[in-house]
Amino acid sequence: MLMAPMKERKSRHKRSTMGPIFLTICILSLFLKENNVIATEAPPSLKPQDKCEKLKKSLTYTQEAAPRDISAVLRVVVEKVNRDVEGVVDVEVGWTGGELHRVVGDHLVQCSVTRLLSSVKTERLIPEEDVQTDEHGRDVTIQCFHVPFTILDTDECALEKGHPMQHKCQEPSFCVNTVGSYECVCPTDDDDGTGGVEGAAAE
């Protein structure tokens, strides 16, 4: 999407949250009894040569609706894995805990998923050393998946008064939305009052 040059300037009131695609690495924990799926505290049981499969259809949120804490992120990630992948026994979720919330852009959360061997559909033969027997006597194997997240920009300039993310610009400055943030711009002698920006944004 093309953006006007003013979108590139930084806000003086709110740190820009535009970010690249993040691949998270830290291990956190969550237990969903109803789904019998666990995000464990153990390190991902993956070999360097293992490739991660990206799940289809990104989890998409606006900035204000994005998961707000670790437990919320883990819950939606594990629920998506359990919904999109067959034969899930255990899920190890990697996330740093600080890169995802309200950061506009595309993100990848890596998961190490233990699955029932009978549910794995693959064109290649799974090596015998990659097959384990769990405590219930079932043959399982571990695979890597990437769960895509998309955080959409919120226009702070257009939010109604009282909204927690509404801009903090004070008159006579006016608000200019940017990707992941906003700017408070002071009018100039050349400003025609139509909302166009003439001159530099406030630093």
Tokens standing for residue 81? 């894995």
The verdict on residue 192 lying in a domain is no
Structure tokens at 113: 């998923």
> What value does the mean pLDDT take over residues 46-68?
79
Whether 179 is in a domain gets the answer: no
CA–CA distance, 180 with 157 (Å, rounded to integer): 12
Global pTM?
Answer: 0.61
The answer to whether position 168 is within a domain reads no
Q: How high does pLDDT run on average in the chain? A: 71
**In this structure, how many other beta carbons lie within 10 angstroms of the beta carbon of residue 164?**
6
Site of tokens 């994005």:
66
Residue 142's domain spans which residues? Answer: 15-152
* β-bridge mates for residue 102, sequence order: none
Does residue 170 sit within a domain? no
Is 104 contained in some domain?
Answer: yes
Residue 118 lies in a domain: yes
Tens-digit pLDDT profile for residues 94-121: 765 556 667 888 888 899 999 888 888 7
pLDDT exceeds cutoff 70 at 2: no
* Residue 157, in any domain of the structure: no
Q: Please check whether residue 158 lies inside any domain of the structure.
A: no
pLDDT tens digits, one per residue of 146-161 = 999 899 998 999 998 8
CB burial of 168-202 (b: ≥16 within 10 Å; e: otherwise) equals ebeeebbbbbbbbbbbbbebeeebeeeeebeeebe
Q: H helices within the chain, ranges in order?
A: 70-84
Q: How many domains does the chain have?
A: 1
CB 97 within 8 A of CB 32: no
